[in-house]
Copies of this chain bind each other. A is one copy, B any other.
């Protein structure tokens, strides 16, 4: 458990009619349900009841359930981006001593760790739960931001001569695929089923990737 114990969103006072900040509370409570019972535990009835509010109150703040989950995705990509930037900038708590390889590994491991520590949240982000035709612009923006953290890291590694001069976007998509693949197989229990250790798989993968994208010579 690495999730900070976020304060439980307030219930509506029984007498009062307005909740106050229902939109934010709905989002927070949905995240809480996802983390504890998984996505299938997210019913409008359950979330509403936990906030002392009718099961239809949410329609004032979100178009529908899919829009609520889209907001959950946005929040996830934001958290993921911050985790990646943190690992990249401060790989072991000793940024000044960090080699390019160490920073790269730290970022990759941080990605996988985010997924493993928030499996249900991660699955909402990539499990096809939000209808693609909704196309929440905030979601696209946050997803793009998380990806950009990866691109920026690649570019910096290229500048320092550690990584070959391929198109940075292609390199970033490749690396994203690797960590996303490890994360998904881990979440799905596929690695566990084989008796494999997720951390080992992640470390091995990142090291092989580093070799695969290293500058030649």
Contact count band on A: 35 or more
Q: Is the CB of B212 within 8 A of A174?
A: no
Q: Is the CB of B211 within 8 A of A196?
A: no
| Contact call A201/B181, Cβ cutoff below 8 A | no
Residues facing B in A186-217 (CB within 8 A) are 187-191, 193-194, 196, 200-201, 204-205, 208-213
Please report which residues of chain A, range 58-82, place their CB below 8 angstroms from some CB of chain B when the two chains form the complex.
none
- The quantity of this chain's copies bound in the complex is 2
Bound together, the chains give a CA A200 to CA B174 distance in angstroms of 10
Q: Which B residue sits closest to A147, measured CB to CB? A: B194
Q: Mark A157-191, 1 if CB is under 8 A from B, else 0.
A: 00000000010011101101111111011011111
Q: Are A201 and B213 in contact (CB under 8 A)?
A: no
CB distance A212 to B208 under 8 Å?
yes
For A191, the chain B residues whose CB sits under 8 A away are: 173
Beta-carbon contact of B184 and A180 below 8 Å? yes
Interface centre among A169, A178, A193, A196 (most CB of B within 10 A): A178
Among B188, B204, B212, which residue has its beta carbon within 8 angstroms of that of A209?
B212
The yes or no answer to A18 lying at the interface (CB within 8 A) is no
- Which of A9-17, A87-95, A96-104, A123-131 has 4 or more CB atoms under 8 Å from chain B? A123-131
Contact of A201 among B177, B179, B204 (CB under 8 A): B177
Contacts of A182 in B (CB 8 A): 177, 181
Determine whether A140 belongs to the interface, using a CB cutoff of 8 Å to chain B: yes
For residue A123, which residues in chain B have a CB less than 8 angstroms away from its CB?
A: 127-128
